Structure 1
Amino acid sequence: MEQGPFIPLTSDYGFKATFGNETNDLFLRTALQALIKSPVPIREVQLDKNAFEALTLDSRSGIFDLACTDAEGNHFIVEMQLAHSPHFVQRMKFYALHKFNTVVERGRFDYANLPRIYCIAILEKGILPTANYHTLANLRDEQGALIDGQMALILVELAKFDKPVVAITTDLDKLIYTMKTLHNAPADPIQWPKFWNEEWLQRAIDELNTRKMTPEERFQFARYTAINAEAVNAERTHLRGIIQRSLQKGLTLEEIAEIHELNLDYVRELHTAPDTQ
């Protein structure tokens, strides 16, 4: 596999090495503050050991669910989604409401003074009908007045972000730009944007620099790559079987893609791919 100097931040390994870095959480804390657009620095976070890893349905890349709590007791759920998922908001509601129920039960069903819950999704594809690349949604009335800010859904749609370096000033834009471009960045730091010298981003970039990886980190990266490749092949075989059976029942490729919430181009690719069994 051809590999540039930097591992994509949006990959399984890249996301865990940066957002899920347990030895140094500066990047995570700064990124969370930027994503929720808070002027108050997040001083401390505790990662939730119940976070899990999985592959996206079309297996082009992975998702790594991360959950953590800050020093004020606020809860954060972060998920990366690179596959096309038009109904992803429903999944976000499932995660947020599950966390809400857990918080309420721990408080013996006391609804007063509940901590905030931020459910954050970073999507490679666009799914909302708006042009915004960052959306924060709360419970509001028909005039847009806030009813409840205890729970917030935050979506970042990477495909909609097209700001040039000269127009980037906020930490949010610096984060999104880094997520979109780092894996294609030149090895020479002289050609990097100046904000990549900021400590929080520099630490993340160092974690993704293949030239600075320890033997153990190289092993873990190879392990992730091998596991994902095996899972990808298994999932592709499973989906090809579904497509073949659906075609035999008279469904079109367009109908199959819609029913199973898959990208149509990916369904066509699977349908025409040679059998490797």
Structure 2
Amino acid sequence: MQDKFINLFTDFGFKKLFGEEPNKDLLISFLNTLLPEKHRIQDLQFTKNEYQGANALDRKAIFDLSCTSSTGERFIVELQKAKQNYFKDRSLYYATFPIQEQAQRGDWDYKLTAVYTVGILDFVFDEDRREDDHEVVHFIQLKNQSGHVFYDKLTFIYLTLPHFQKTRGELRTLQDKWFYIFRHLHELQEIPPELQEAIFLKLFAVANIAQFSPIERQVYEDSLKYYRDLKNVTDTARDEGWQEGKAEGKAEGMAEKAKEVACHLLRLGIISEAEIASMTGLAIDTIQQLRLQIAADTPDALGE
């Protein structure tokens, strides 16, 4: 059955629902389920988010919005559908930009407004992959050796959505309902009774693919294909365990699986050789050899 509503883990879907001015009430509703009461948002405005350092994989695997509330708090909202090396380092790096932007020339007392990074993840961190850890919301702040908050104006909120397993009948809070929307919107064919609030009725209206123009529909289909291709190769890598096996010294079989994934990514032509090397753990020379082999077998399979 063809999808009726968009997939929120596509570039088009995420930005359609949360990145357009007429729909910012959707973003406000979602963020307010995560924020402490003192920083709940009444209104917001979108700000620039094209920071130096973004590479091709960032732009294709991570979709982000930057906004400022009416009381000055800064928010970076990121949706990431595939794991990357040093993801936490990357989040910390980008969180420094809205901090620096608050600097004022001349006399300035260094007083800052709060900065939040909200990461919506379609995967689970390896270090969180424990049988006893099923947390969806991870709330992180800088603390001292006694566990007391040292600085409360820099906060990272990560949502590991694969851990959210509630059924419609188990939805109790607005936050539950938003998490359910992220995971299941594209699977629904009608609006469930549990999601009949005004904010969700608007969301379903905006997300209805039948209402898109032909151009919007094509853009969405392209972003959906990319999402499925990238998710397929990363899920295959994870399920086969080649990354973990590589670290444990099970080199031969795992290296072959890494090469299979690398070949698939090369044929897709969606990221660079360096980024494929980063994702698979293979050397650049190996990636280049694989590209030559594929080109020799199927000359038209690879782009420039």
State the TM-score, normalized to the length of structure 2: 0.68
Return the match for 2:174 from 159, 171, 191.
171
- Number of aligned residues: 247
Percentage identity across paired residues of the two chains: 27
Letter paired with 1:79: E
Deviation, 1:231, is 11
CA distance in 2 between counterparts of 1:207 and 1:25 reads: 12
User: Is the 2:8–2:185 Cα contact (8 Å) retained in structure 1?
Assistant: yes
Report the equivalent of 2:57.
57
CA distance in 2 between counterparts of 1:122 and 1:107 reads: 38
Report the equivalent of 1:157.
160
Deviation, 1:49, is 3.7
CA distance in 2 between counterparts of 1:255 and 1:27 reads: 40
CA distance in 2 between counterparts of 1:107 and 1:31 reads: 38
Return the match for 1:135 from 135, 138, 152.
138
Report the equivalent of 2:236.
none
CA distance in 2 between counterparts of 1:142 and 1:67 reads: 32
Letter paired with 1:147: F
Report the equivalent of 1:14.
13
Report the equivalent of 1:182.
185
Report the equivalent of 2:215.
219
CA distance in 1 between counterparts of 2:83 and 2:19 reads: 23
CA distance in 2 between counterparts of 1:221 and 1:62 reads: 20
Higher percent of residues as helix: 2
CA distance in 1 between counterparts of 2:79 and 2:22 reads: 21
Question: Which one is further off, 135-144 or 159-168?
Answer: 159-168
User: Is the 2:49–2:64 Cα contact (8 Å) retained in structure 1?
Assistant: no
User: Is the 2:85–2:278 Cα contact (8 Å) retained in structure 1?
Assistant: yes
Deviation, 1:37, is 4.5
Gaps (5+ residues) in structure 1? Answer: 234-249, 265-269
Q: CA offsets, 1:220-277, max 9 Å, x none?
A: 24135447869999xxxxxxxxxxxxxxxx993578889944268xxxxx99988424
| Counterpart secondary structure, 1:206 | helix
User: Is the 2:10–2:224 Cα contact (8 Å) retained in structure 1?
Assistant: no
Alignment of 1:84 with 2:83, yes or no, is yes
Q: CA offsets, 1:51-97, max 9 Å, x none?
A: 58x897399x6432100000100000011100123531111101111
Letter paired with 2:83: H
Return the match for 1:262 from 279, 289, 297.
279
Alignment of 1:175-214 (within 5 A): 175-185=178-188, 187-189=189-191, 192-194=192-194, 196-213=195-212
Q: CA offsets, 1:23-63, max 9 Å, x none?
A: 132111111111324376421100114458x897399x643
Deviation, 1:198, is 1.3
User: Is the 1:30–1:41 Cα contact (8 Å) retained in structure 2?
Assistant: no
State the TM-score, normalized to the length of structure 1: 0.74
Query: CA 1:69/1:159 → structure 2, altered by over 3 Å: closer, same or farther?
Result: same
- Aligned residues: CA RMSD: 3.8
Alignment of 1:34-73 (within 5 A): 34-38=33-37, 41-51=40-50, 57=57, 62-73=61-72
Query: CA 1:221/1:91 → structure 2, altered by over 3 Å: closer, same or farther?
Result: farther
CA distance in 2 between counterparts of 1:14 and 1:25 reads: 14
Alignment of 1:147 with 2:150, yes or no, is yes
User: Is the 1:51–1:65 Cα contact (8 Å) retained in structure 2?
Assistant: no
Report the equivalent of 2:74.
75
Q: CA offsets, 1:128-181, max 9 Å, x none?
A: 424311111011112211111011011011111112223322222211110000
CA distance in 2 between counterparts of 1:162 and 1:226 reads: 28
User: Is the 1:55–1:228 Cα contact (8 Å) retained in structure 2?
Assistant: no
Letter paired with 1:222: Q
